[in-house]
Amino acid sequence: MNYRDYLSITPEIAKAIEENTPVVALESTILSHGMPYPENLEFAHKVEELVRAEGAIPATTAIIGGKLKVGLNAEELELMCKGENIAKASRRDVAVYLATGQTAATTVATTMLIADMAGVRVFATGGIGGVHRGAQETMDISADLQEFAHTNVCVVSAGCKSILDIGLTLEYLETFGVPVLGYQTEHFPAFYCEESGYNVDYKVSGAEEVAKIMKTKWDLGLAGGVLVGNPIPHEWSMDHKYIDAAIDKALEMAKEKGIHGKKTTPFLLATIKDLTGGDSLASNLQLAYNNAVVASKIAVEYAKVK
């Protein structure tokens, strides 16, 4: 057997990949661990609709029945959204969950891994993981960053999650040679906020320019991903001081409860949602929709230059 024996790609997506039709990968952790049911199911359908409206095919990923799923049918999507006994799979978990038949939602790292195996080069997510605050002591650094170092996928996100140490996250990406592009902006976004106080490496004018950079990078044999920072729409951007206060309170609560590891991000996001009266969830939805649209535009342009 080789890795392709573990892939289960829907006929529509398999045909699209073979015919160089644009495809956009989507993660499932946001469905199983990031939103309540049935709002997450409505979100999943809307994201797929937005991708199709731009001329691309959506490919939501997951681990189900010993297979790496690329594209989910209605029953599988419902399963992931109900979130009952659904694990959260990063790279280290993939072999274990496949071998044991555990159903698992895919993180940014695992979605990149699966997309690369399937030949899908563009992936839309909300925000990537990164270096957690206080990582100098805890060494809590997301596997997402290592995935960027060697996996050839372009990831469109609203920067990294505001709960992280953004400066150290950008330093880590620079160390591993990952180009960080600002989609029509010089500023690196901070998930809920348009700006983080840090700049990107390069401002790009649009999807066509991103596609050319992707092609050139991989033509040269420069392995690894491309990160596109796509700011949350202005009308949904939250005030820095307001969201930072909520984050600080959530971090304090996590420390008091002994929350760590892969449970940290879901706990913090849920707590911040409660502390902001649901405003953070509304912003989270809008930035994810925006990323799906931009990723689809990039996938369309990449299919042309490829």
Which neighbouring-strand residues pair with 25?
59, 123
DSSP 8-state secondary structure symbol assigned to residue 40:
H
What SS3 class is residue 68? strand
**Dist. CA 179–CA 291, nearest whole Å:** 18
Give me the DSSP letters along 119-178.
T--EEE-S-B--BBTTHHHH--B-HHHHHHHH---EEEESBB-TTB-HHHHHHHHHHTT-
Task: Name the active-site residue from 69, 161, 262, 273.
Answer: 161
Task: Name the active-site residue from 27, 54, 147, 301.
Answer: 27
Which neighbouring-strand residues pair with 228?
156, 181
**Is residue 161 annotated as a catalytic residue, yes or no?**
yes
Strands 154-157 and 122-124: parallel
**Is residue 174 annotated as a catalytic residue, yes or no?**
no
**Positions marked active-site:** 27, 161
